[in-house]
Amino acid sequence: MALKIGDKAPDFEVNDQDGVPVKLSDLRGQKVVLYFYPKDMTPGCTAESCNLRDNYERLQDKGYEVLGISSDDEQSHRKFIEQENLPFRLLADTDRKVHDAYGTWVEKQMYGRTYMGTARVTFIIDEDGVIEDVIDKVDTENHTSQILKGIASNGEAHDKTDSIPATPTPAPVPVPAKKVAAKKVTKKAPVKAPAAAKKAAPKKAARKTAKKAAKKVAKKAAPKKAVKKVVKTAPKKVAKAAKAVKKSAKKVAKAPKKAKKKAR
């Protein structure tokens, strides 16, 4: 069963990054930000932890102690703290007993693959050990703002320092009149350029059409030349053929005479 606002926060005892046991009930009288995150040194978890690091003093001023918790071991936590210079403790829930108590060890999906892992959820626990807020849609880069807004919505005083101001949008810089005129000129200038190009275009087009026409004429003229060659060479070929026929006829005519002479 998922924990909700008003529920008693389950007590636990688990080692921090240095192997020192941390018991939730020992923090009674102090408010706690207990944030569950999937894994050390991953992009989303780094962004979330660094946002809490950068606003740690503000949370302490509100009376809150920050505790991060995941299923990573103590050595991994120490490396994460050293790498990102985190000022708060990270709890090593390697056997996931705290995850089970808070309902944060859940079935997850990634790239079509189903697996068990830590849900990114933050519990805000008051001085009496009661859950006063649950943030299950964590904005990793602006998590402190979510926590402070949750505190304000639960009836606490909310001063101007509770919200992280957005980066102001710079006012538009006025453009001098001369520059405006220059912009107008440059906008109109491209219209004149095509006109000059159009004047030069007919000459190029004429050259192209002339070349095309010459090619067409050459193609048309080619068959006529071939015909002339045929006309010139045909009579000669016919004459040669006729002579060959005459010779063969003479040979045929002479053949019987030769045969008679041999018979005598």
Active site residues: 45
Residue showing tokens 């999906």: 109
Distance, CA of 98 to CA of 118 (rounded, Å): 11
Residue showing tokens 């808070």: 102
Q: Which two tokens stand for residue 96?
A: 């996931």
Question: Are the C-beta atoms of 129 and 9 separated by less than 8 Å?
Answer: yes
Q: Give the residue from 189, 14, 182, 13 showing the smallest Cα distance to 94.
A: 14
Helices 74-84 + 43-54 axis angle, to 10:
60
Beta carbons within 10 angstroms of residue 65's beta carbon: 16
Distance, CA of 153 to CA of 140 (rounded, Å): 20
Q: Which residues pair with 15 in a beta bridge?
A: 21
Distance, CA of 140 to CA of 142 (rounded, Å): 6
